[in-house]
Amino acid sequence: MLKMWKTEDSVEEWEMKVKFFGGGKVDKLKTSVVSRSSMKLWMIRAITTVLLWTCVVHLLALGEIWGPRLIKSWPSCFSNQDVELTSVPAKVVLPPKRIYKNNGYLMVSCNGGLNQMRAAICDMVAIARYLNVTLVVPELDKSSFWNDPSEFQDIFDVDHFITSLRDEVRILKELPPRLKTRVKLGLFYSLPPVSWSNISYYTHQILPLLQKYKVVHLNKTDARLANNGLPIEIQKLRCRVNFNALKFTSQIEELGRRVVRILRERGPFLVLHLRYEMDMLAFSGCTHGCNDEETEQLTRMRYAYPWWKEKDISSEMKRKEGLCPLTPEETALVLSALGIDRNVQIYIAAGEIYGGKRRMKALASAFPNLVRKETLLGPSDLKFFQNHSSQMAALDYLVSLESDIFVPTYNGNMAKVVEGHRRFLGFKKTISLDRKLLVGLIDQYNKGSLSWDEFSSTVKEAHADRMGSPKTRVVIPDKPKEEDYFYANPQECLQLLDEPLRSS
């Protein structure tokens, strides 16, 4: 039995898989690029010869007319051709494979929405890398509130994910057949890793399980790796996965580019991640501004979801603590107070707003240029995305990265991950609203105890330092939930960055 799991076997298998999934394709790509480019080279040479002869003939003719001075223009004849010659297609350069002694196979099932899963995928790659195991392409959550049946490859470019990381860790699309059989027989170990663990938890608790069972399945992935106290290489690898290896599919990228192009043609735009959606309100118990019927509906929903632990919630107390997403009405006041131009385009990055038009009235009258993906694109463009909330979220993610200003109304996973990504892209402006302070000011303003000018200048002052500029991540030992999230400010990856990378 043990012999079956000899590591040499696994390495061979890896080599085979690479040939099958990555290497084979790469070789083919190379040969076709080579043959195409040699064809091109040949044609360019032929054309160049003809052009040069034409040049020579013309110059000689001109030289005869205007004398030898014009002969100086020869070099430009050449340099133009040089430019043409160097523009043959760039070769796809893949990193060399890392060869290592395989300690087993790691399967992971991500839980949560798209951005929670995105961060988790980065964590899992880093963990697999440091345990020297083989990672199976993560499985995405299909049973969460969002109920999206999308697989990894429906959202991310899976081949790019595998090949671009091959100098760090082996990633397979699926388990090798004999291990699959083993999994079918239940001969593997499944567990949720302890939240916010450091790498020594993984080397001391998870690695022995991998060595014993060969296949370990991590069945929960949200925030399983600490923000801080990890080796710098791990932090950098998390960034590399996040900013480089995780690319959306070309279909999503193309649609994202289209939305951004439409917006840009009309001028600057702000992305508002208005997290005023039914799931958020039911989960958080925040019902400020809802009518009785809505409050009842939200409460009923909260009790219906067993994994939403908190049931008995005082909405007003929670709001005062700054733990509720801003309502659309509150958001309208805050954006005006911040001095956001009334006529700027505001792209709403969100699903359906709870309460619909009635709740959007104040925001729409303060900012008449509200747009959404549904108003910028035709129904046929969104047809394939319609029942796939994660793909819709991916589209919003791309638009959020590109916006001139990004404003989230709640600090959920999308807010945090996009904020960090925008820092990486050159500290693009993200306004992190201080909700606890804001709801207090809003109540005072609404009661009439603050004038508009007082309200506005206090809001501006309080946010001068919350615009996504460089800062040190807050570390609170033993309170990981209260400290700054690694992905919101991956500072280890920002310092060395001289030239910001662009996403598209």
Ligand X SMILES: *[C@@H]1O[C@H](CO)[C@@H](O)[C@H](O)[C@H]1NC(C)=O
Chain residues that interact with ligand X, rule: CB under 6 A: 100, 103, 131-132, 190-192, 198, 200-201, 203, 207, 219-220, 229, 383, 386-387
Cα torsion through 486, 488, 493, 497, rounded to 10 = -170
**CB of 387: closest distance to ligand X in angstroms?**
4
Q: In the bound complex, what is the minimum distance in angstroms from residue 190's beta carbon to ligand X?
A: 4
Rounded (10°) CA dihedral 51, 57, 62, 64 = 160
Which among 234, 244, 247 has a CA at the least distance from the CA of 123?
Answer: 234
Q: What H or E segment, with its residue span, contains residue 217?
A: strand 215-218
C-alpha span between 111 and 148 (Å, rounded): 12
Residue 270 CB, shortest distance to ligand X, in Å, is 30
CA triple 64-66-67, angle to 5 deg: 70
Q: Is residue 39 within 8 Å of residue 31, measured between CB atoms?
A: no
Asked whether the beta carbons of 354 and 294 are under 8 A apart, the reply is yes
The smaller minimum CB distance to ligand X, of residues 159 and 277, is found at: 277
Q: Which stretches does DSSP call E strand in 134-186?
A: 134-136, 170-172
Give the Cα-Cα-Cα angle 368, 373, 376 (nearest 5 degrees): 70
Closer residue to ligand X in complex, CB, 190/297: 190
In the complex, the smallest distance separating the C-beta of residue 167 from ligand X, rounded to whole angstroms, is: 11
Report the residue number, 199 or 371, with the smaller CB distance to ligand X.
Answer: 199
The CB-of-120 to ligand X minimum distance in angstroms stands at 13
Nearest distance in Å: CB 217, ligand X? 8
Mode of pairing for the β-strands spanning 170-172 and 134-136: parallel
**Distance in angstroms (rounded) separating the CA atoms of residues 127 and 106:** 9
The smaller minimum CB distance to ligand X, of residues 18 and 332, is found at 18
Residue placing its CB nearer to ligand X in the complex, 133 or 401: 133
Residue spans of beta strands (DSSP E) within 73-120: 105-108
Closer residue to ligand X, CB minimum distance, 131 or 417: 131
By beta-carbon proximity to ligand X, the closer residue of 127 and 260 is 127
Closer of 40 and 220 to ligand X (Cβ): 220
DSSP-assigned states of every residue in 2-61: GGGG-HHHHHHHHHHHIIIIIIHHHHHHHHHHHHHHHHHHHHHHHHHHHHHHHHHHHHHH
Q: Is-contact 125 168, C-beta < 8 A?
A: yes
Q: Least distance (Å) from ligand X to the CB of residue 394?
A: 17
Contact present, 195 and 91 (Cβ < 8 Å): no
Minimum distance, C-beta of residue 141 to ligand X, in the bound complex (Å): 10
Q: Which is nearer to ligand X, 133 or 323 (CB)?
A: 133
Calpha distance 230→487 (Å, rounded): 14
- Residue 263 contacts residue 345 (beta carbons within 8 Å): yes
Nearest-approach distance from CB 477 to ligand X, in angstroms: 10
User: What's the min distance (Å) between Cβ of 334 and ligand X?
Assistant: 34
Least spacing, CB of residue 191 vs ligand X, in Å: 5
Minimum CB separation of residue 359 from ligand X in Å reads 23
Tell me whether residue 122 or residue 131 sits nearer to ligand X (CB atom).
Answer: 131
Q: Which is nearer to ligand X, 226 or 326 (CB)?
A: 226
Task: Kindly tell me which of 196 and 487 has the beta carbon lying closer to ligand X.
Answer: 196
Residue 118 · residue 85 · CB < 8 Å: no
Find the angle CA(363)-CA(460)-CA(447) to the nearest 5 degrees.
Answer: 60
Amino acid at 365: S
DSSP letters along 341-371, please?
A: -TTSEEEE-SSPPTTHHHHHHHHHHH-S-EE
Q: Which amino acid is at 280?
A: M
d(CA 206, CA 199): 10
Return the amino acid letter for 267.
G
* Among 134, 201, 139, residue whose Cα is nearest residue 172: 134
